[in-house]
Structure 1
Amino acid sequence: KMSRQTRPENPDLPTLEAWRPRTAPPAEQFIFERNPFFHRVDENGTQLPYVDRLVLNVSSPDLISAKTATGESDLQIGNLDFTDYTLLKSAEATYPINVMLWKRTLGSRVALIPNLNCGDEGWRTVLRDVRVRRAMSLAINRTEINKAVFYGLGQESANTVLPESTLFKPDYAKAYAGYDPAEANRLLDAAGLDKRDDEGTRLLPDGRPAQVVIESAGESTLETDVLELVTDYFREIGLGLFVRVSQRDIFRSRAIGGEVVMSVWYGLDNGVPTPEMSPAELAPSSDDQYQWPVWGMYYATVKTKGEPPDMPEVQYLVDRLAAWEMTTTEAERTAIWHEMLAHHADQVFTIGTVNGISQPVVRARQLRNMPEKALCGFQPTAFLGVYMPDTFWYEEGA
């Protein structure tokens, strides 16, 4: 807690970052001041950063878009979504802000993630059958989601890399991503879910109605809109869908504890990888991978917690990741990436919907040195990080 460089929790901790924290949590406002010992300079020898002080206010997620639209934020990405674009763009005429659209690097803006480690043995057995995962994917009408939620501006796709990546193949995006409820019904029948109750809901092998409780952190209205449509799609193939909302920390701990059957979240963080970037996201490597949190914890803790995978299809990914880490040539790395991406496309470990979505980025009109068009995501751009915020500056009187 006192020495984590990646979390600004201790104002007394020396740092190499451009700004140093002056506020200890918990607080409703966090202040960062320029680090007088920061090591970077511009081409003229002037020490960076240009901006002396950052003030970060904590606010309810529901209010952030409205507060940004009234000019209260000089720079905002977090908790803005594509659905806020019209409101923000209209505010440009009244307030001194500029609204830009950057492309999200996510493999899917909204993805359904079956938990292969869920504690419910009946559901765990069902979800580990690839026919069930494929059926759920084929039941989703991505064209309708794209038109209804994203105004037709997204790309209907499985959860995979984007066309901007050198590793992209159309087959990865199209795998089980077409709308085919008849085939979905056939696959579910073949998987042993061929019995139904009086209301038409399929029955699990143990006799319970096949009603999926999908967990959400409740941080995005887009997720809610998509899930409303998915509820109808699942009903067509005899599956019930109910949404449970909880705070992100609770949601995550419940997933690790096996209490979550399925969750809704983003797809791949890094949808624009190159062969030199690690494919760890495609294999169990972290406990925040909601499709296999227990297996992810096993490798994240160097095999001291969690459990090793007991599915050959998942162990294959672990082995390929280990092989990638031992490669010495780009050709080897590229081949392993394609093997893992093809395996993901075939096994449908996560169910993507639409990607290639634009992200509104709002800046004060006087804030300079930001690109008008860019990629935006946690990986590989670190949201703003790759665009060097230490070189942003204010133009007086703009």
Structure 2
Amino acid sequence: MFNARNSILALAATLLLTPLSSLAGPAFVESAFWQDEVNSGNMPPVTERLPQSPLVVDLAAKGRDFGVQGGTLNTMVTRSKDIRQMVVYGYARLVGYDTQYLLQPDILLGFENEGNRRYTLNLRPGHRWSSGDPFTSADFEYWWQDIAQNPLLSPAGPPDFMYAEGALPQVSFPDATTVIYEWDAPNPQFLQNLAQARPPFIYRPANYLKQFHADYASAEALAEEVDYARVKSWAALHNKYDNMYKFDNHELPTLQPWINATAGKKIRHQFVRNPYYHRVDSKGVQLPYIDTVEMEIVAAGLVAAKSNAGEADLQARGLGFRDIPILRKGETDGAGYKTFLWGTGAASQIAIYPNLNVADPVWRNVLRDVRVRRALSVSINRAAINRALFFKLAKPGAMTVLEQSPFFDPEMRKAWASFDPELANRLLDEAGLGEKDGYGIRRLPDGRPMELVVETAGERQEVENALQIITDDWNDVGVKLIMRPLDRDILRNRVFSGSSMASVWYGWDNGLPQNYTSPAYLAPTDQVFLAWPKWGQYYQTAGAAGEAPDMAPAQRLMELMHDWENATDDAGRAAAWHEMLKIHADQVYGIGIVSAAPQPVVVSDRLRNVPEKAIWAWEPGAHFGIYRPDEFFFEDGQG
């Protein structure tokens, strides 16, 4: 799709982009929210705040209603750090996915892709940061030269996706609205990386951040700022304030639809409309429609109860399948909301990951035996879990892609997923684990009982309930499951260090891959895949940390990923995907339990343009992001 020189998507952008001078209909309407600032001269009028060619959204063509500006939307998160969800939900990206998972220019006016080697990014003339500073190629140059390649600010150098065959691109900035990246080898995933739920931010607000950079600020001013911020160096100071994704620096300019208006850590965080946001509807109304978002930080166990009481205008995070009954009750009690049931985009709702890199040498050898992983999988009664926890609404099976992906194969969902305790016992015996103690628990080669500790983040009740059922299933074949709930960060650190034997998380974030989707997450390229953290570390650090993959199937996955990167057509990319999925189905690196459990989404009765049927997915999708919350509105303009 992106191999030959083309600007198909840039042409598509021109159909959506109309210069201000030729926009039909009434003049641009000034936001009542910012009217006083405009009247006082503190802010220019809306016609001067918009880019020369804003992104004009034809809501009628999308089957949506035109809205009115105004109102406050209430939502909740369960941790202070999750105010970053405003960056996820806002989903202002250089390029972003539409609801068909096709890439479209967003912040960019357009782009050109020449053979997956040379990418030209075209910015919108007159586009501005939320501070009013111009957004130009200088902001890309600042990130590339002064941050990504500064060893004090980026000790590991530029991020992995900026390398192709181990080499960085030649980067040039011909003018204020053009940025060019050129590699010698193909880098087919470059644009997709820019569209991620957690974007890489290959640009920074240079005018703001230069005051904290030793190459631009005076030594005296920097020393004063370092002392005031109580950090050790100018680099630590710069990194403290340069939090584009964390979104916790209310002074840091942004391009998102809402800007952080709350300093420090609070129970309630307020985000207000970005006066320089680049999107407008075709009637001349600047987006977002909603003026303010208030995000309350609450205990995880209170999200459903507070939603039931009508305290959320839009809520999905913190809600699970188990909460549907209480949410339905709130609807009938007149709490003023509806509960939509969206599909989920993760490859599996619950997946167990044996750690092939666990530090314990005995357990490492046991878990690396594919017969053991297969036995653990076929000894699980998935139908019972689906019946008991999901009322038969989920889909039992192994971890693989979902039906919406062109790579879906029902046989892969069935692979080593049928409930067969007899087969499990036979496989474990063949693996040399036939000896049992007086309680029927098998013994490891060194004589210890086969007690497999499975660690969880302790955030989802359905995970713990499923593990309780699996405990009985595994006990019947001589494996004792010990569940250990931990804090999410502690869990990941234990897995990464090799301390954890096995862990539970969702399946692959992206269960909806297309031909253009990189299969890198199926290969040992990232420590976040909990089955091979050390192999992932090795790839991410170019061999400086971790361990090189030393099992043939994992090595083959790396070869296939390389084949996909160098494929010249969709057939070659699809072939790599199919073989990689078959390896995962055969090797059972992640033991999927069920997939496609409905995700409840609470929506105020007065909130419009929220789709009733959609997919709740982190990648691709950014949860609410691809459905464009900047187009949501309250029917009366008041929330």
Give the TM-score, by structure 2 length: 0.61
What is residue 580 of structure 2 aligned with on the other side? 340
Spell out, residue by residue over 1:74-110, the C-alpha distance to the aligned partner (whole angstroms, 9 max, x if none): 1111110011111101111220111100001121111
Cα separation, 2, equivalents of 1:124 and 1:285: 20
Structure 1 residue 205, shift from structure 2 partner: 0.6
Q: Are residues 1:2 and 2:241 paired?
A: yes
Give the counterpart of 2:405 among 155, 165, 171: 165
- Distance in 1, matches of 2:495 and 2:598, equals 29
Instruction: Tell me, yes or no, if structure 1 residue 52 matches structure 2 residue 291.
Output: yes
After superposition, residues 319-330 of structure 1 pair within 5 angstroms as: 319-330=559-570
- Counterpart-to-counterpart distance in 1, 2:543 and 2:616: 33
- CA drift of 1:156 comes to 1.2
1:23 to 2:248 alignment: no
Partner of 2:386: 146
Query: Residue 300 of structure 1 aligns with which residue?
Result: 540
After superposition, the C-alpha distances for 1:4-43 in whole angstroms (9 at most, x for unaligned) are: 3222022121111111112344332222111111111112
Name 2:484's counterpart in structure 1: 244
Q: Give the alignment partner of residue 512 of structure 2, picking from 272, 289, 295.
A: 272
In the alignment, does 2:611 pair up with 1:371?
yes
Distance 1:110 1:321 in 2: 25
CA distance in 1, matches of 2:603, 2:579: 41
2:321 match: 82
Deviation at 1:153, TM superposition (A): 1.1
Task: Spell out structure 1 runs of 4+ moving beyond 6 A.
Answer: none
1:129 corresponds to which of 348, 363, 369? 369
Counterparts of 2:621 and 2:437 in 1: how far apart (Å)? Answer: 49
Q: 2:525 and 2:275 mapped to 1: Cα distance?
A: 37
Structure exhibiting the larger radius of gyration computed from Cα positions: 2
Secondary structure in 1 aligned to 2:293?
strand
The whole-number CA distance in structure 1 between the counterparts of 2:278 and 2:555 is: 44
Question: What is the aligned counterpart of 1:259 among 490, 499, 503?
Answer: 499
The corresponding residue for 1:176 is: 416
Q: Look up the SS of the partner of 2:303 in the other structure.
A: helix
Structure 2 counterpart of 1:63: 302
2:280 is matched with 41
CA distance in 2: counterparts of 1:278 and 1:7, whole angstroms: 25
Deviations 1:165-184 (A, max 9, x none): 11100111010000111011
Q: Is residue 2:596 matched to residue 1:356? A: yes
How far the C-alpha of 1:326 sits from its partner, in A, is 1.6
Q: Which residue of 2 aligns with 1:118?
A: 358
Task: Say which of 73, 80, 103 aligns to 2:343.
Answer: 103
Indicate the RMSD between aligned Cα atoms, in angstroms.
1.3
Q: Counterpart amino acid of 2:534?
A: V
Letter in 1 for 2:322: T
Distance 2:281 2:572 in 1: 38
Q: Which residue of 2 aligns with 1:32?
A: 271
Count of residue correspondences: 398
Partners of 2:267 and 2:571 in 1: CA distance: 50
Structure 1 residue 286 displacement after superposition: 2.1
Deviations 1:331-368 (CA, angstroms, capped at 9, x unpaired): 11111100100110000000011112100000111111
Q: Deviations over 1:36-65 (max 9, x none)?
A: 111111122321111111111111111111
Unaligned 5+ segments in structure 1 are none
Q: Compared with structure 1, are the counterparts of its residues 297 and 4 closer, same or farther at alpha carbon in structure 2 (3 Å cutoff)?
A: farther
Q: Which residue of 1 aligns with 2:462?
A: 222
- Look up the SS of the partner of 2:362 in the other structure: helix
Cα–Cα, structure 1 residues 40 and 272, in superposed 2: closer, same or farther, change >3 Å? Answer: same
**Residue identity in the other structure for 1:74:** D
Name whichever of 184-193 and 87-96 sits farther off: 87-96
Amino acid corresponding to residue 40 of structure 1 in structure 2: R
Greater relative contact order (Cα 8 A, min sep 6): structure 1 or 2?
A: 1
SS for the counterpart of 1:333 is helix
SS of structure 2 residue aligned to 1:205: coil
Among 623, 626, 632, the residue aligned to 1:392: 632
Distance in 2 between residues matched to 1:195 and 1:247, nearest whole Å: 35
User: 1:222, 1:311 → 2: CA distance?
Assistant: 33
Work out whether 1:315 is the aligned partner of 2:558: no
* AA partner of residue 318 (structure 1): M
Partner of 1:202: 442
The alignment status of 1:187 with 2:427, answered yes or no, reads: yes
- How much has 1:148 moved relative to structure 2? 0.9
Local SS of the residue matching 1:31: strand
Deviation at residue 300 of structure 1 after TM alignment: 2.9
- Among 92, 96, 99, the residue aligned to 2:331: 92
Task: After TM superposition, give the deviation of residue 302 of structure 1 in Å.
Answer: 4.1
User: Equivalents in 2 of 1:25, 1:207: separation in Å?
Assistant: 54
Q: Distance in 2 between matches of 1:28 and 1:286?
A: 34
**2: CA distance, partners of 1:153 / 1:111:** 17
Of 453, 468, 474, 1:213 maps to: 453
Q: Summarize deviations over 1:146-202 as a string: whole Å, max 9, x none.
A: 111110111111011111211100111010000111011000000110111111100
Q: Distance in 2 between matches of 1:178 and 1:156?
A: 9
Cα distance in 1 between the residues matched to 2:355 and 2:437 = 25
One-letter identity of the residue aligned with 1:5: M
- Of all paired residues, the percent bearing the same amino acid is 45
Matched position secondary structure for 2:408: coil
Alpha-carbon distance between aligned partners in 1 of 2:315 and 2:581, rounded to the nearest angstrom: 33
| Cα distance in 1, alignment partners of residues 242 and 542 from structure 2 | 21
Mapped partners of 2:413, 2:592: distance in 1: 9
In the alignment, the residues of structure 2 paired with residue 302 and residue 387 of structure 1 have an alpha-carbon distance, to the nearest angstrom, of 37
Query: Partners of 2:565 and 2:246 in 1: how far apart?
Result: 28
Cα distance in structure 1, aligned partners of 2:558 and 2:283: 48
> For residues 575 and 372 of structure 2, what CA distance do their matches in structure 1 show?
29
Give the letter aligned to residue 580 of structure 2: M
Change (3 A) 1:304 1:4: farther
CA–CA separation in structure 1 for the residues paired with 2:388 and 2:455: 22
For 2:287, the aligned partner's letter is L
- SS of structure 2 residue aligned to 1:291: coil
Alpha-carbon distance between aligned partners in 2 of 1:230 and 1:112, rounded to the nearest angstrom: 11
Cα separation, partners in 2 of 1:181 and 1:25, compared to 1, 3 Å: farther
- Paired letter, 1:342: K
SS at match of 2:281: coil
